[in-house]
Structure 1
């Protein structure tokens, strides 16, 4: 068998990359540098709604935010008829229904369950996986170009067959460029949903980055965008060509890394795995009410429930919190908008849900206007520390959950689904279609909730042969 070797040099955004190619039995295969593979589900929330309802496939589907407020996810068909994310549902409801649009309430249990299954399937195709969000993950790759493309296609097929979700894949030398390549794969069906940054660059050159507004570059927020535009930096290409030292001086090291990433130089390290749900600085549980809440007695019910949900996360990652903050606010569109917040420092770090719930309520006790219509409230656990590493002087130990109340709530949650058991009244009034706490007037409204076929026995889909 004859083997021939040839060296190729390509330029990725000004950064020289050397690769070698082998011709083996007529197949041109070259070795990629250490590449980043970004696998991202297409229209994830909307796609999840079709898994147990195949009749929705190909139809315009939108998923709404909390209390069925705004559009947060759209199927491809919904995008084609001009529906935009963030649009209030009440403004487009009549026209959308006339156009045959199907609306669904956010089904968080279903999305989390399908995400876990999807990530598990994808983890078997590459050596290292970093789950970045509920619908996307970075995968590290050192295989040849041909093997990488083959593996990406196998990954897509496995997720589609095993979970029912379509996935797009972008391959690039950095995470920022992988984001761009992945977006390109979604927007260009001819790529078959697997796109290599080197291919895009070879065919379109600088026009690729020139066509991307700087606001759409990963890691560039709205406030930064305004400052960049004042400097004449309006596109991703402008940012790539900017002086990294100047960017670091005027903005931050993080934005300097983005500049280098756009040049093909890996700078973004792996973050904590999102699938683990570990929070190092704070844990927040916040919701908007389905109807305004007045008075501390009713508001304290919500604060108690949110504090218990936050403690559930605290227990799950085996942490303690040193202080508890609570807040509530009226509608920002009200002429008399008000927001109240306060924090309580615990005597000792704690993971006890009774201690945390009481602190959350005490934080706002005697502070709220008894007649104000509050539409949102939240609880935040702060000053987090690892329970195993917490050591202090004798007599100053943490306020641990010695009676195991948290463990009892954990076991009940796993067995009977969330919010069937809680501390105090807390608005819990038995089972309901939308939630276990539907008896409370302030709970989140989800009038168009689909089945939770992977987490609820009584909602498992029925298959007719």
Structure 2
């Protein structure tokens, strides 16, 4: 038995938790550089604002309505996610964190009054974090996803599903007729693992609803489509094919890329940018107990702006593989110096760590032929730096080439003109209660 717990309109809900005045208003959270909508309140959805819609297309609504648009505050969202997941873990013994706002809970067989327990956990999440959520309960992960979809739409779209299934939907408590009704009401494209493109192709064969998918012969799904669709069919039929992943699979690569707040045409801010990107990637690398054997650095101009085009990258091999921030930043800086050319308005740059291996199985290189910088063991230094930054905040200790001690005069950092305070992670931004 599985449960899927999902925070409703998560980024918007995090903002509303600290600004109750936003409740009832149409609210949109924007992507990096305030580019497009990545989270919308139900009120904003009712206004016709689409997920991923560019900000410039609906910014005029702020002048003629009560629409509130905010810059993304990912530090706040990450911390609120950790709090929500810790509470959600109380529903059952096993947990798989699927995304920043979703987690599966497994091994729920034998728990008494599971629906009542789910309602209690949901209320606890709302009370302790201010984030509303919905919970789907079912014998397979795909059905749990479907039940979560039902619980969410039954609450926010009256009439789409029976009202009594709002907030928490338990597949095992439904009659056969109720299950068939839910599957018939659900478009095939809303089933986990299908999506719009496959749904469009299925529609050409008259497969329009989740009920149609569930009635497909599993062998037909495999032979005409893929093993993945076969798995989805079996899961909709109540046969569990997707296990709980308690530990994430090792990453094959780690990337840190950003669009600049303003176009860059000189080298110093590019060095700052790739130094910061390499530093962040190195932290993720150590967190996963991995090392990188190669580093790719790139920069390119915007394809949407007039002027000469620039799109170059270079890869630096690392011998031996490393997770040392000083080595990775040095490689990134060397790479950006190698590909930089004056005269171009650069819009984006990034760093990718490749050829990742486990640090525990690391084979030591021949130090006689390795570069001198690679011989130095900075593992204790990196450990100390990570602990300091974890305790006192991101980039409290950092490589000097990131330029964090200087003002962002060149404007390469992201535009976050509408970002709210980081209420839970910065002492100087903690909310103040006034009588």
Residue in 2 that maps onto 1:237? 211
* 1:208 and 2:193 aligned: no
* Contact 1:352-1:406 within 8 A present in 2 as well: yes
In the alignment, what sits opposite 1:155?
121
The residue aligned with 2:160 is none
2:151 paired with 1:175: no
Shift of 1:442: 0.5
* Distance (Å, rounded) in 2 between the aligned partners of 1:338 and 1:393: 36
Contact 2:150–2:166 (CA under 8 A) maintained in structure 1: no
Q: 1:235 to 1:96 in 2, by over 3 A?
A: farther
CA offset at residue 408 of structure 1? 4.3
- Please state if 1:43 is matched with 2:25: no
Instruction: Give the secondary-structure state (helix, strand or coil) at the position aligned to 2:294.
Output: strand
Q: Give deviations 1:14-40, integer Å, cap 9, x for gaps.
A: xxxxxxxxxxxxxxxxxxxxx211111
Matched, 1:371 2:343: yes
Per-residue displacement from partner, 1:9-62 (whole Å, max 9, x unpaired)?
A: xxxxxxxxxxxxxxxxxxxxxxxxxx2111111111000001111222222211
TM-score, normalised to structure 2's length? Answer: 0.88
- Structure with the higher fraction of residues in helix conformation: 2
Alignment of 1:59-458 (within 5 A): 59-143=25-109, 147-189=113-155, 190=163, 191-198=165-172, 202-221=176-195, 224-225=198-199, 227-271=201-245, 273=247, 279-334=250-305, 338-392=310-364, 395=367, 399=374, 402-403=377-378, 404-430=380-406, 438-458=408-428
| 2: CA distance, partners of 1:420 / 1:440 | 22
CA RMSD in angstroms, aligned pairs only: 2.7
Tell me if the contact between 1:46 and 1:62 (Cα under 8 Å) persists in the aligned partners.
yes
* Partners of 1:427 and 1:439 within 8 A in 2: no
Q: Counterparts of 2:111 and 2:281 in 1: how far apart (Å)?
A: 45
Is the partner of 2:113 in helix, strand or coil?
helix
CA shift, 1:258, in A, is: 1.5
Distance 1:350 1:66, change over 3 A: same
Q: What is the CA deviation profile of residues 247-306 of structure 1, one whole-angstrom value per residue up to 9, with x for unaligned ones?
A: 3345443332112112211111223546xxx74211111111111122444323211110
- Structure 2 counterpart SS, 1:332: coil
1:20 match: none
Could you tell me how far apart the structure 1 residues matched to 2:233 and 2:375 are? 46
Q: 1 CA distance for matches of 2:297 and 2:389?
A: 24
Residue 142 to residue 393, structure 1, CA distance change in 2 (3 Å): same
SS in 1 for 2:256: strand
Q: Distance in 2 between matches of 1:358 and 1:158?
A: 47
Deviation track 1:341-378 (CA, whole Å, cap 9, x = no partner) reads 33222121011112112222333444344222222221
Shift of 1:160: 1.0
The superposition leaves residues 103-126 of structure 1 with CA deviations (integer Å, 9 ceiling, x where unpaired) of: 211111111111111111111221
TM-score by length of 1: 0.83
Aligned length: 422
Moved more, 391-400 or 84-93: 391-400
Deviates more, 1:125-134 or 1:394-403: 394-403
Q: 1:202 to 1:385 in 2, by over 3 A?
A: same
TM-superposition CA deviations, 1:193-229 (whole Å, max 9, x none): 0112345664545453344343332223555445545
Query: Is the CA contact (8 Å cut-off) linking 1:429 and 1:440 kept in structure 2?
Result: no
Deviation at 1:141, TM superposition (A): 4.5
Q: Give the Cα separation in 2 of the matches to 1:328 and 1:244.
A: 46
CA separation of 1:74 and 1:284: change in aligned 2, threshold 3 A:
same
1:171–1:181: 8 Å Cα contact kept in structure 2? yes
- Residues 431-459 of structure 1, C-alpha deviation per residue, up to 9 Å, x if partnerless? xxxxxx74551001111111111100001
Is the partner of 1:171 in helix, strand or coil?
strand
Shift in alpha-carbon separation, 1:325–1:198, aligned structure 2, 3 A: same
The answer to whether the 8 Å contact 1:318/1:386 transfers is: yes
* Distance in 2 between residues matched to 1:201 and 1:40, nearest whole Å: 24
Cα distance change of structure 1 residues 345 and 231 upon mapping to structure 2, 3 Å threshold: farther
Give the deviation of 1:406 after TM superposition.
Answer: 2.3
SS of residue in 1 equivalent to 2:50: coil
Distance 1:270 1:332, change over 3 A: farther
